[in-house]
Structure 1
Amino acid sequence: MDIDAWVWWLIGAAALGIPLVLTAMPEFGMLAVGAVAASVTAGLGGGVVLQVVVFAAVSVALIAVVRPIATRHRAGRPELATGVEALKGRSALVLERVDGSGGRIKLAGEIWSARALDTDRAYEAGQEVDVVEIDGATAVVM
């Protein structure tokens, strides 16, 4: 039983798809697309040399064009802040006077203990303050 060249290229594409899924390295996917392009070339009657050239050209072109775009996109994605990191920089409402020794604020729908960043400064009930950092269970505000 003789298997056509285009089938071998498809088998190669599938074989390249396995490490793509296991390692999440997009380069394997680009090589798999190159193998599919070589399979199409073989199906249309192209010779072995043309098949290899198409495989190499498509793979290199995808890696040269798509990889830098994907890298730039991945680097530009904002980091998702969660937990106390998400509270930094938010506004809060003073419920009880806040000074260097303590007080209470309403932050993100919850009541928090708070203290002023500047120990000489005091914030009265009803004022809006900004959360600078979270120190344990205490919001440091200004």
Structure 2
Amino acid sequence: MKKNNPLIASFLIILFLNSCGTIAEGLGGSKKKGSDEFLVEKKSPLVLPPSFGELPEPGKEPEENIISDKKDTSDIEDIINQSSSISTSEKSDDAKNSIEQSIIKKINEKKVNLIETTEINLDEAIEENEKPKKKGFFKRLKDKFNKSDS
């Protein structure tokens, strides 16, 4: 028992000294190590590109863009002229007729489905009314007790 006492005492002293160190850190108010929570990194200043002097002046368009723009506008004019040659009234009439036909077809399908479902529902209602209604479990028990009492 006496051999264990110095061992336990030394363990308790080491534990106490270790905890004193952490208490001192906590009460000391020292900043945390490695805390980058509010760190603002400075960035390097902007640098001009090497070809900055070669940039075009505002308001001037390069010759290549003007030529390609003329080609684009001529292509657009060709497309417009081709589309105007096809009569737009024929297109709109065909589109209106096809839309009207599809709407009418959908309406007729829904009417047929509605008529079929109402006929089926009426047939089911007639069959249910023709069947004799069965008494519920509690009504049959009540009838049995009434018969036995009388």
Q: What TM-score do the two structures reach when normalised by structure 1?
A: 0.26
Question: Which structure ranks higher in relative contact order (CA pairs < 8 Å, sequence separation ≥ 6)?
Answer: 1
**Which structure carries more helix by proportion?**
2
Pair member with larger Rg: 2
Q: What TM-score do the two structures reach when normalised by structure 2?
A: 0.25
